[in-house]
């Protein structure tokens, strides 16, 4: 007997006393609380005062039949309804399904079949409520765990996280640097049934091969020079929880074999010993590289790729979800106000317009740094364009320098573009001359107007031409937006 069954209340709507007694005994033995009604009218009156989790009803009854009861039941918030019907009235059951019944059974029904149908409907209804609650949570706060955003791209990310968090499937998170891959891993962990277990993160590109092997699997004293004591690896440290492996593409090929075995067998062998240790851990791996290109180049094992790529989650760059920039700005302003112990600062419309229009090659991490810098240096309780402009100029300058440096030029002319990581690919294309960016010109009215024009154009593009939505993204009223569109001839 499941915990769900032990708590659930079933309303049995049936006019045959023998059938009522038989089905009530079957349901009560399984642990359900059972209420009964002799017809549809009694059932509706009972539901008004004592809600049920599932309704099991006959179709043919005096006073009010099952079909009429279904028509009069409110659509919103009503429990799943299972219809009982005879062999000769299957068509009536199908009609009941059109009226909103969840399932039907033919009388005399098998007791086990009835219990299976009821339990399935309880599970489906519980899942439906959970999804509705999650949607309300995201809609109300524009957050999902540690992630911030409410646009279509992030809603798809939330959908995948919501689905995968219920199991222990291995997840591969890809996307440009600064898009929040570790936040995705933490959100998956926090929403999983193993959230009370440890969350352990390790950057695979931060260690030499020997040290990385020790970090992953642990070692015994004397296993190598400097190993003066036993050390537990991160696989063991994350036992019962989640292990986040950032920059997984940086694992050296010789070590990839041992890593693959750990994934397959769910056991690790510390350096200096031959005795494997069992571990139960979910793996979330992340990279900003194209692992298929790494495979073709012989730097990443194909079997390891497919072992990691059970569920693939691609994070979008910030430039493709500009509608989320105002939400992120508000989030970071509130966060830094909390850290600094002060009231949140107000961001002016023209500063926000510049932030929305900016390409953000460093993605969310770069935006966070820009807000922190402006927050730390501005003595005012208002952040204006002058406060954010230095970070925007610095960002554009860094992108131009990367594109025109020998390394950047070699990437742009490389005969093997597939070896370029997603994070570095945008840097290989030469940007417009620095002076063309409105914030690089001498301070004057024209550059500010150009920033405003670009922000409005970006908002209209993000809103797919919907002016009401564009006004909401820009946080201005519609009449003002219409005037600006006419001024800049964007209509």
Report, as an integer, the average pLDDT of 116-135: 76
- The last residue of a domain, from among 90, 106, 131: 131
325 & 431 share domain: yes
338 & 300 share domain: no
90 & 203 share domain: no
295 & 195 share domain: yes
46 & 177 share domain: no
pLDDT of 438 higher than 50:
no
pLDDT band at 442 (very low <50, low <70, confident <90, very high): very low
Rounded CA-CA distance 464/480 in Å is: 19
Residue 202 sits in a domain whose CATH number is: 3.40.50.300
Report, as an integer, the average pLDDT of 324-351: 88
Rounded CA-CA distance 228/215 in Å is: 15
pLDDT of 222 higher than 70:
no
- The last residue of a domain, from among 96, 131, 166: 131
Place of tokens 């100029």: 393
pLDDT band at 434 (very low <50, low <70, confident <90, very high): very low
CA distances to 39, 104, 116, 121, 360 from 108, in Å: 19, 12, 15, 20, 66
250 & 343 share domain: no
* 136 in any annotated domain: no
Query: What is the C-alpha radius of gyration for the chain, rounded to an integer number of angstroms?
Result: 30
Residue 15 sits in a domain whose CATH number is: 3.40.50.2300
Angle, CA of 287, 290 and 291, to the nearest 5°: 80
- Per the DSSP assignment, residues forming a β-bridge with 284 are 171, 244
For residue 286, the surrounding DSSP H or E stretch is strand 282-287
Among the listed residues 242, 134, 125, 117, the one whose alpha carbon sits nearest the alpha carbon of residue 190: 242
DSSP character at residue 319 = G
* 482 in any annotated domain: yes
193 & 236 share domain: yes
pLDDT of 403 higher than 70:
no
What one-character-per-residue DSSP string does 343-395 give?
PPPEEPHHHHHHHHHS--TTHHHHHHHHHHHHHHH--SSEE-HHHHHHHHHHH
Supply the pLDDT for residue 218: 80
pLDDT of 11 higher than 90:
yes
389 & 245 share domain: no
* 174 in any annotated domain: yes
Rounded CA-CA distance 194/131 in Å is: 19
Per this entry, what is the length of the chain? 491
pLDDT band at 111 (very low <50, low <70, confident <90, very high): confident
Rounded CA-CA distance 276/217 in Å is: 10
Supply the pLDDT for residue 130: 67
pLDDT band at 88 (very low <50, low <70, confident <90, very high): low
Rounded CA-CA distance 384/231 in Å is: 51
For residue 264, the surrounding DSSP H or E stretch is helix 253-265
* 54 in any annotated domain: yes
For the chain, what is the largest distance between any 2 Cα atoms, rounded to a whole number of angstroms?
90
Supply the pLDDT for residue 69: 92
* 31 in any annotated domain: yes
- Per the DSSP assignment, residues forming a β-bridge with 283 are 243
215 & 109 share domain: no
What percent of the chain stands above pLDDT 90? 37
* 424 in any annotated domain: yes
Rounded CA-CA distance 456/450 in Å is: 10
164 & 107 share domain: no
pLDDT of 444 higher than 90:
no
Supply the pLDDT for residue 4: 44
Helices (H), 218-362: 234-237, 253-265, 291-296, 302-308, 325-340, 349-357
Supply the pLDDT for residue 431: 38
- Domain residues for the domain of 61 are 3-131
Using DSSP, state whether 81 is helix, strand or coil: strand
- The last residue of a domain, from among 316, 339, 369: 316
Residue 472 sits in a domain whose CATH number is: 1.10.8.60
Rounded CA-CA distance 301/131 in Å is: 38
Supply the pLDDT for residue 137: 54
Supply the pLDDT for residue 478: 74
Specify the number of domains making up the chain: 3
Half-sphere exposure of 130 (CA within 13 A, CB side): 11
259 & 183 share domain: yes
* 139 in any annotated domain: no
| CB of 37 closer than 8 Å to CB of 48 | no
386 & 329 share domain: yes
* 137 in any annotated domain: no
Rounded CA-CA distance 286/172 in Å is: 6
């Amino acid at each position: 007997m499941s915990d769900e069954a032990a708590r659930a209340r079933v309303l049995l709507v049936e006019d045959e006393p023998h059938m009522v007694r038989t089905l009530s005994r079957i349901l009560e033995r399984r642990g359900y609380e059972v209420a009964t009604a002799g017809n549809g009218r009694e059932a509706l009156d009972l539901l008004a005062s004592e809600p049920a989790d599932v309704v099991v009803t006959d179709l043919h009854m005096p006073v009010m039949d099952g079909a009429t009861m279904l028509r009069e039941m409110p659509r919103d918030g009503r429990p799943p309804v299972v219809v009982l019907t005879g062999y000769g009235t299957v068509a009536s059951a199908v009609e009941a399904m059109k009226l909103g019944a969840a399932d039907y059974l033919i009388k005399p029904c098998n007791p086990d079949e009835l219990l299976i149908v009821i339990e399935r409907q309880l599970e489906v209804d519980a899942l439906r409520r959970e999804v509705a609650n999650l949607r309300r949570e995201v809609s109300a706060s524009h957050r999902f765990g540690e992630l911030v955003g409410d646009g279509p791209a992030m809603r798809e990310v939330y959908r995948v996280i919501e689905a995968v968090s219920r199991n222990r499937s291995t997840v591969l998170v890809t996307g440009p640097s600064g898009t929040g891959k570790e936040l995705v891993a933490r959100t998956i962990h926090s929403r999983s049934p193993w959230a009370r277990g440890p969350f352990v993160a390790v950057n695979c590109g931060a260690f030499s091969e020997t040290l990385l092997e020790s970090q992953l699997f642990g070692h015994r004293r004397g296993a190598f020079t400097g190993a003066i004591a036993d050390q537990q690896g991160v696989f063991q440290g994350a036992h019962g929880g989640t292990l986040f492996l950032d920059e997984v593409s940086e694992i050296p090929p010789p070590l990839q074999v041992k890593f693959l075995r750990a994934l397959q067998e769910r056991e690790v062998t510390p350096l200096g010993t031959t005795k494997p240790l069992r571990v139960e851990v979910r793996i979330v791996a992340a990279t900003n590289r194209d692992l298929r290109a790494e495979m073709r180049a012989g730097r990443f094992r194909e079997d390891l790729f497919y072992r990691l790529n059970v569920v693939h989650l691609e994070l979008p760059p910030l430039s493709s979800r500009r509608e989320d920039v105002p939400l992120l700005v508000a989030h970071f302003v509130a966060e830094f106000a909390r850290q600094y112990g002060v009231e949140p600062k107000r961001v002016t419309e023209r500063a926000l317009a510049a932030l929305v229009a900016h390409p953000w090659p460093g993605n969310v991490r770069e935006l966070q740094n820009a807000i922190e810098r402006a927050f730390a240096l501005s003595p005012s309780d208002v952040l204006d364009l002058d406060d954010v402009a230095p970070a925007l100029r610095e960002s554009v300058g860094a992108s131009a320098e990367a594109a025109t440096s020998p390394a950047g030029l070699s990437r742009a002319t490389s005969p093997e573009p597939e070896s370029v990581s997603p994070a570095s690919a945008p840097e290989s294309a030469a940007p417009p001359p620095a002076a063309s960016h409105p914030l690089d010109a001498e301070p004057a009215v024209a550059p500010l107007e150009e920033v405003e024009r670009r922000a409005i154009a970006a908002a209209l593009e993000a809103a797919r031409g919907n002016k009401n939505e564009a006004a909401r993204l820009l946080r201005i009223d519609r009449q003002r937006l219409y005037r600006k569109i006419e001024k800049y001839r964007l209509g």
